[in-house]
Chains A and B, each alone.
Chain A
């Protein structure tokens, strides 16, 4: 009985790089389409930073300057950070928490999909939405706020903000593993909104109360916004190295937490 023949393992079909690349590409394409068609996502993630920018940067303070930087330019950096953070947190955490909690992730895990494809798709999608938000801010600023800057500066600001999607995507993955499908969105708001305020994304950093300024030093969005502000000549005096280090460290910690969640899920699946 026990010696019955097993079918030979000829399942090691060569995983050609091309086939793997196709999986990652399709996974990302459909993750993007899925979110694009999700009105809750696009409406909240795109419209809030743009609305704030129109109100505070174009309608109210368009003629003002903070230091040597005009407000419409300054706010592209801070509201850009705000937009990137929202797109990345909601893009990863909300989807992951609901996929996990309601069984869809399990269907995917039961397929031969490389597990990384799922995460990479979410991260890239968040970066694409981040880029769209920053471009839209630029569009508004150039058209209605008289924003002008050299192409090199534009590219650096854009690059910094889009790269800044990574720490928040990592944070979203960690959150997505520890929040329930229904509690994820309110949990994100509970972290994201106070953090934005304390990091000087709404009220420029120098106008914040002293206590809040000290809290800000520990917050990733503060460091991302300072990097962005540095590009337009409005950063504080800390070196960029510090900001990058904090963001990279934060990303690693979040990925570590997400990894713990990933492993915990494998054991704790009731059924």
Chain B
């Protein structure tokens, strides 16, 4: 709850902060595949923005454009006012990308030493090790690390240059719950120190837990943007779940019910006036059991948003 409040106030404050990264009217095609279509997107100083979308939605493409790893097919990409394609314009950014293989014979400390040298004002190596939780394994070779530790080394390489803006591409993919929580804490600590973070994720929970602002991306377009609360509000009402002998037809007739769905042995109902509907359900079926009422979460909003956009836009065959 506290975290949500803090996120909310930060989000409000950041609307007046200067823009640090911007994608303007960008299209990116890979041959005939349209990875991004007319995307406009900005990141302001001090924000933690999540780019949320299913695999193949265009998240990584957006990050790669912002990192200057490739040019857009059309449109403009600016980071701190400069073209990120020029390596000199990357001294204020750090990146954590998905990588198949890192040189395995170098030690953790050596990897950090090398990457720090690329930046004019890097963090002290000891501070990087602490911030990424690598103090105890600084002398190990990369090959000897666990999955979570390897991910933390990549995180260390992203922050070692003391950058103002961090791009984290699916930073917690493949991590267990504990390792994920640890990395979340580290990301939050960065934002507290005034850094700006843009992360991509397909975990709704991650976007909800971390972000001040979420941009939902689907099939190369940004289909919604707002605080986690605003995004959640996009899916209407609440959800009632129960086991009942009533037919779906009978439930649909109850005033206030907007949608009825069978889900295994139970029935799922969406309703605008939850209390009335529940009262009516209990009155009609005395054997009703397993009653649950939940506020629609980010997941519902996300599903609603992506389905909406899929049915609205005519499908382009790939």
A residues near B (Cβ < 8 Å) are 4-13, 15, 19, 22-23, 26-27, 30, 33-34, 37-38, 98-99, 101-104, 106-107, 109-115, 181, 266-271
Contact = CB atoms under 8 A, between A and B. Distances in A.
A112 B99 contact: no
B106 A34 contact: yes
B269 interface: no
Contact of B18 (A6, A110, A181, A267): A6
B105 interface: yes
B99 A102 contact: yes
Contacts of B115: 111
B80 A9 contact: yes
A98 B100 CA distance: 9
Contacts of A38: 105
25 contacts: A4-B18, A4-B19, A4-B42, A5-B19, A7-B19, A9-B80, A13-B121, A26-B113, A30-B110, A101-B100, A102-B101, A103-B101, A104-B99, A104-B101, A104-B103, A107-B95, A110-B97, A111-B95, A112-B119, A115-B87, A268-B30, A269-B64, A270-B30, A271-B60, A271-B61
Nearest to A105: B99
Contacts of B88: 11-12, 15, 112
Please provide the 5 A-B residue pairs with the shortest distance between their CB atoms, ordered closest to farther: A102-B100, A37-B105, A102-B101, A9-B81, A103-B99
Contacts of A269: 64, 69-70
Contacts of A10: 80
Contacts of A270: 30
B120 interface: yes
Contacts of A109: 69
Nearest to B113: A26
A116 B19 CA distance: 31
B71 interface: yes
Interface in B68-117: 68-71, 78, 80-82, 87-92, 94-95, 97-103, 105-106, 110, 113-115, 117
A271 B105 CA distance: 27
A30 B95 contact: no
B20 A13 contact: no
Contact of A6 (B19, B70, B117): B19
Given A19-B120, A115-B87, A6 B69 contact: no
B312 to A, nearest CB: 24
Contacts of B92: 11
Contact of A103 (B71, B87, B100, B161): B100
Contacts of B141: 37
Given A103-B98, A111-B161, 12 more contacts: A7-B20, A26-B117, A27-B114, A38-B105, A104-B103, A106-B99, A107-B154, A110-B67, A110-B167, A111-B94, A266-B71, A268-B30
A104 B20 CA distance: 26
B45 interface: yes
B216 interface: no
B87 A114 contact: yes
Interface string B114-144: 1101111100000000000000000001000
A266 B103 contact: no
Nearest to A7: B18
B234 interface: no
Contact of B114 (A13, A15, A30): A30
A19 B161 CA distance: 14
A38 B142 CA distance: 13
A167 to B, nearest CB: 26
A111 B118 contact: yes
B199 interface: no
B190 to A, nearest CB: 17
